[in-house]
Chain A
């Protein structure tokens, strides 16, 4: 396995507060890794450590074979794409001028800019000033800015939070395309649907600790119970364990015209999160 990102027992203190309490994660090349956690759990802190904006207090941090001490090198910076939770554009300038700046700073081709703009469906808006764009448009331009130099690793801090479903969908489509090109992506989110749709691996972060990690499907399976929930026409519900002893009860329910809904307990990622951490995601 070609590991692109390695965090080993990483801790981060802010004064007396311990924002990360020994985080260990390995991310393979081409993997989409999602950090899922409630507000204040340390998601942004983790991204900032990986992008070199913060130094770890303890532990080993390695990205693309490079240790965090040398994260400020130009070569490293060029291999990263970053969309932070507070990334911003130059409001007075047009979309074109904003992207031209970064195209020149990264020394990439204009054709690449045209292509990413087309990918997010904003090629018609290049002459608009950024201040005249909607929030969702700005976020898509920020994503363009983050990927126009074809980074090897992409860090996205809540790329779709507070965006409408249409914009979210277009961003997801773009990210899946980037993933298909072999880019390693690490994203943070509050949104379990986003994690399910995009991520190969999901890690639950709670109070600076990773409480569980795996594919979205494996996490759901790991936390499913053996219960069958039956809802009757009169509104009452019954929970029956799916065991051989309960076979006749279950069969009866299956053909009972009064039983309007029968379902197994297969939790959503959000429900799993709640089971693991005792917290709601949002």
Chain B
């Protein structure tokens, strides 16, 4: 990895991101949701709603952003040009990750300001948020390395968004909290973040860590597969 090259990719992709209407409008999604929620109730917003915004931001911007950017490089044959330059695949991934992290942060900060979120962020909940961000980034990178067209990303993106991003929505689909689906979905990462605002923090953090590690293994696998395909 080389800082100069990572920054070169970052600058290029920041321009690409802001000039790509499809990607750029994703920034607005959490903000619009936040605006709607802030209009709904006067009293303090429950953690669940805050994390719904986080889930939307992480899945729709962080995860989908890097996935789409990688897929587009592949589809348009520009990835080849980057790979034939001194930039390594890790430089490319790091530069792109910086762009989506920045965009997600901007969108979330604006959303939180609009919602006027009044709950305190403990060390554990911030740690949890970082683990969750890494999880979504890893999934986005892994899928981005696997697919070779932007159209294919939606096949992956929809389930990812629904299961991992809009997790609290599951409660509307399956209202019975004793249903086996609900027992299973209790282990989904976003629920751990919500739990982190309660008494018990160790178990949710460990579960989140497990998700992050699994997603990291997925990236490693996708990366290895991709690099071995490079020279046939």
Interface, chain A (partner B; CB < 8 A): 51-55, 72, 74, 77-78, 80, 82, 84, 86-93, 97, 100-102, 104-107, 145
Closest to B21 in A: A92
Q: How far is the CB of A48 from chain B (nearest CB, A)?
A: 9
Q: How far is the CB of A135 from chain B (nearest CB, A)?
A: 15
Asked whether B87 is an interface residue with its Cβ less than 8 Å from the other chain, the reply is yes
Whether B78 contacts A107 by the Cβ 8 Å rule is no
Q: Which residues of A contact B12 (CB under 8 A)?
A: 90, 93, 97, 100-101
Whether A77 contacts B85 by the Cβ 8 Å rule is yes
Whether A97 contacts B15 by the Cβ 8 Å rule is yes
Q: Which residues of B contact A72 (CB under 8 A)?
A: 231
A-B pairs, 6 with minimum CB distance: A104-B8, A88-B77, A101-B12, A105-B85, A92-B19, A74-B86
Which of A55, A78, A145 makes the CB contact (< 8 A) with B81?
Answer: A145
Closest to B5 in A: A105
In angstroms, Cα B81 to Cα A145, docked, is 9
In angstroms, Cα B90 to Cα A74, docked, is 13
Q: Which residues of B contact A86 (CB under 8 A)?
A: 77, 80
Q: Assuming A53-B231, A72-B231, is B15 touching A88 (CB within 8 A)?
A: no
Whether A106 contacts B15 by the Cβ 8 Å rule is no
Which of A53, A77, A78, A105 makes the CB contact (< 8 A) with B8?
Answer: A105
In angstroms, Cα B114 to Cα A207, docked, is 67
Closest to A54 in B: B232
Task: Tally chain B residues at the interface, Cβ within 8 Å.
Answer: 25
Which of A55, A92, A100, A104 makes the CB contact (< 8 A) with B16?
Answer: A92
Asked whether B76 is an interface residue with its Cβ less than 8 Å from the other chain, the reply is yes
Which of A52, A77, A88, A105 makes the CB contact (< 8 A) with B78?
Answer: A88
Q: Which residues of B contact A101 (CB under 8 A)?
A: 8-9, 11-12
Whether B8 contacts A88 by the Cβ 8 Å rule is no
In angstroms, Cα B82 to Cα A90, docked, is 11
13 residue pairs from A and B, CB less than 8 Å apart: A53-B230, A54-B232, A55-B231, A78-B86, A80-B84, A82-B84, A87-B81, A91-B76, A93-B12, A97-B12, A100-B8, A105-B85, A105-B87
Q: How far is the CB of A146 from chain B (nearest CB, A)?
A: 9
In angstroms, Cα B16 to Cα A87, docked, is 18
Q: Which residues of A contact B86 (CB under 8 A)?
A: 74, 77-78, 105-107
Max chain A CB contacts within 10 Å: which of B5, B78, B85? B85
In angstroms, Cα B4 to Cα A106, docked, is 10
Asked whether B7 is an interface residue with its Cβ less than 8 Å from the other chain, the reply is yes
In angstroms, Cα B80 to Cα A88, docked, is 9
Given A53-B80, A100-B11, A106-B86, 14 more A-B residue pairs with CB atoms under 8 Å apart are A52-B231, A53-B84, A54-B231, A55-B232, A86-B77, A87-B77, A88-B80, A90-B12, A92-B19, A97-B12, A102-B81, A102-B85, A105-B82, A106-B85
In angstroms, Cα B9 to Cα A82, docked, is 19
Asked whether B25 is an interface residue with its Cβ less than 8 Å from the other chain, the reply is no
Q: How far is the CB of B201 from chain A (nearest CB, A)?
A: 43
Q: How far is the CB of B72 from chain A (nearest CB, A)?
A: 9
Whether B84 contacts A88 by the Cβ 8 Å rule is no
